[in-house]
Amino acid sequence: MTYHNLCKKEHPPIGTKLLLGLGAKFIPQRWYAQPNVEHSINDFNRNIRIKHTFAGSESTLCKDDTKLYVRNLEWEPEKANDEIENRLKQFEEKIRTLTKINTTSQHKRTNLSGVQRTILTQLKNHPKIIVLLADKNLGPVTMDRKEYVERVLTEHLANKTAYKKLPEKQAKIQLNDLKEYFIHLFLNRNNKFNLIETEIKYFSRSLNNPNLRIPQFYGMVKIHKNPWKLRPVVSCCGSLSAIASTWLDYHLQKLKNYVLSYIQDSKQLQDDLQYGTISDNHKLFTCDAVSMYTNICPDHSVEILKEWCETYKNEINQIKGNFPINLILIVLKTVMENNIFQFGNTWWLQKSGTAMGTPCACMITTIYFGYYERKFLLPKHHKNILYYKRFIDDVFCIWDTNITSNTATKNSFDIFRNDMDKHGNLRWEFEQLTDEIAFLDLKIKIDRTTKKLNFQTYQKPMNLHLYIPPHSMHPPGVTKSLIFGLLQTYKQQNTNPDDFQQMAKLLFHRLIARGYNPEELKRLFLEAAYRLDHMPKKPSKKPKDNTNNPSMDKEIFYKTRYHPRDISRLEIRNAYKETCDKQSQSAPHGLKQIITRNGNKMQIEKLTIAYTRDNNIRDMLIPSKLHQPKGIDVESIHNNIRNNTE
């Protein structure tokens, strides 16, 4: 199987599997390399001039504040001194000449067959079929466009408790009012909340962006459920709500170490448990919250955060840097109550639940139930709980039955289950106490012989394993990184070496099925195995003094869009060496030794060619903004549903 077909009335174009089987991350190759030299050169020159302007001075942006960094679009650095500007001009001429020669010598070539190109065009413009993504990374899905819109409306947006439909004019007025409110709140002259300079710059630059995006609602198919359902998603990237929510997340992340159940990923869980001992009365269980985001009341989440800060005031006082709790509470309430988004040509307001898609949503849910766990749940059941961790809405626990009576054991577990449902509107679905479970990407089993936990890689049965094919137009090194990264993960996850070897063999054969050359794969697998064998078991911590390592301040980037037939990295590096790094009487080591106007040296130690990727199949066929062919617009379908139910 190469994709999931849920179409009932329509039939996908013949050969659809030839395209969707490539995977959503596959990048079609344009006929010719068309580099945006103007953009690359301007960006490179700008970075050099910034280095020149601030040579010898330390960046005012702390490492912990980089999440709040927004480029100042209104400011441009002054030109550098004559020698530097002359070198930049020579570098530009070299790049333009190389690009011109390369462009004129190219032949027409792509990595899609004629059939695949035709299907791509047909699916992109198909009026009755839509391409979606399955939840849990289970591959692409096709279904009838009208059914998709109807399912989104009936399963989610028709819920008047959770969502409210807004007229377009009213929605735009509310968004404009929200922007004005944020400007007044964050950028008032008195700075009554004592925001630091980094925060003020962040809000000033972000809120003055004229190209703010409207959040978009879409559904991901829970293909692993029977019957399948749609998981609601709101894409907030680049939106007004994301500005405030990113700031919230930046501050709320400071509390995660105080959430007793917090776990970053399955690797942390494995690190915690790999040396533990399991006794005869220990059992495992997992549980997950039912629609966690939509079942958390916004007012209650604000109340809980306030209680947290009051109850654990000493911990709040120990947080490094600024933690403006009053402003955090105000902004949290505002973000939760103003999650406005589009679905097709309709506008909606989320009335209840955690604001979906906002950057702070994960931390809010983590803190919200984390307070209840810390204050009540874990202290009450600490005798039975040997280990308890939660990844957002998924819980893993080692339960100590503690007593031999089956009846009493059942009662204690039932009491715990009932207590889990006593915090707000959240409800939890439980697996029974057992010796073997699946949690995140791990299969965890109690080995009664060794009294240890055995770990294995867990992959869902419906996973299509659509690894990026070798002819995808990805920058070089992707295949090597993919193989090493997966083998490193498998080695970490599998307690038994035989299980690791089995996963490595599966990966090898799956990559061959994706079109990779077996001999090339053998070489890459052997290289990865050598690196893994010579890696320290526990990576040493990064030294605090990084003076001996190339830092970001000593690195310069040349950014360009990747195409396999564009000028090579080597040609760009040689052009840089022949111009910017060229020795002269005043600068024997090129740019890094040139004295700037303020009397300091540039100290550029390294040039890095940074590639950006072209649009992949997901960008082309599965944009977050819904394409609406004539006659299948959301407003019309919504009106039909409403008329039929009245």
pLDDT in tens, 378-432: 999 999 999 999 999 999 999 998 754 445 556 899 999 999 999 999 999 999 9
Residue 551 has pLDDT above 70, yes or no: no
**Hey, how many other C-beta atoms are within 10 angstroms of the C-beta on 231?**
16
pLDDT attached to residue 597: 62
pTM above 0.85, yes or no: yes
Reported confidence tier of residue 535, pLDDT bands at 50, 70, 90: confident
Q: Where residue 543 falls among pLDDT bands split at 50, 70, 90?
A: very low
| 25/18 Cα distance (integer angstroms) | 14
Q: What is the pLDDT of residues 228-285, one digit of tens each?
A: 999 999 999 999 999 999 999 999 999 999 999 999 999 999 999 988 889 989 999 9
CA-wise closest residue to 146 among 579, 633, 514 = 633
Least confidently predicted of 114-118, 493-497, 535-539: 535-539
| pLDDT in the model for residue 592 | 63
Res 379: pLDDT: 95
pLDDT at residue 5 tops 90: yes
Q: Angle 319-325-330 (CA atoms, 0-180°, nearest 5)?
A: 150
Q: What pLDDT sits at residue 420?
A: 96
The pLDDT value recorded for residue 294 is: 86
pLDDT in tens, 127-171: 999 999 999 899 999 999 999 999 999 999 998 889 999 999 999
pLDDT confidence band for 322 (50 / 70 / 90) = confident
pLDDT: which is higher, 627 or 486: 486
pLDDT of residue 89: 94
Q: What is the pLDDT of residue 72?
A: 84
pLDDT-derived band at 604, boundaries 50, 70, 90: confident
Does 186 score more than 70 pLDDT? Answer: yes
319 falls in which pLDDT band (50, 70, 90)?
Answer: confident
pLDDT above 90 (res 320): no
d(CA 352, CA 301): 11
Tell which wins on pLDDT, 547 or 377: 377
Share of the chain above pLDDT 90, in %: 68
Per-residue pLDDT at 538? 58
Per-residue pLDDT at 60: 43
SS3 141: strand
Look at residue 102 in the predicted model and tell me its pLDDT. Answer: 85
pLDDT at 52: 84
Segment among 22-26, 97-101, 219-223, 550-554 with least mean pLDDT: 550-554
Cis peptide before 227 (omega within 30 of 0): yes
Q: Above 60 in pLDDT, residue 62?
A: no
Cα separation, 24 vs 623, whole angstroms: 11
State the chain's mean pLDDT as an integer: 89
Least confident piece of the model among 97-106, 215-224, 269-278, 562-571: 97-106
- pLDDT for residue 544: 43
Q: What pLDDT is attached to residue 510?
A: 96
Whether 350 has a pLDDT exceeding 90, the answer reads yes
Selection from 4, 5, 16 nearest residue 123 by Cα: 16
Half-sphere exposure for 331 (CA within 13 Å, toward CB): 31
Between 121 and 193, residue with greater pLDDT: 121
Give the model's pLDDT for residue 611.
93
Q: How far is CA 241 from the centre of its chain?
A: 17
Taking the C-alpha atoms of residue 35 and residue 609, their distance in angstroms, rounded to an integer, is 14
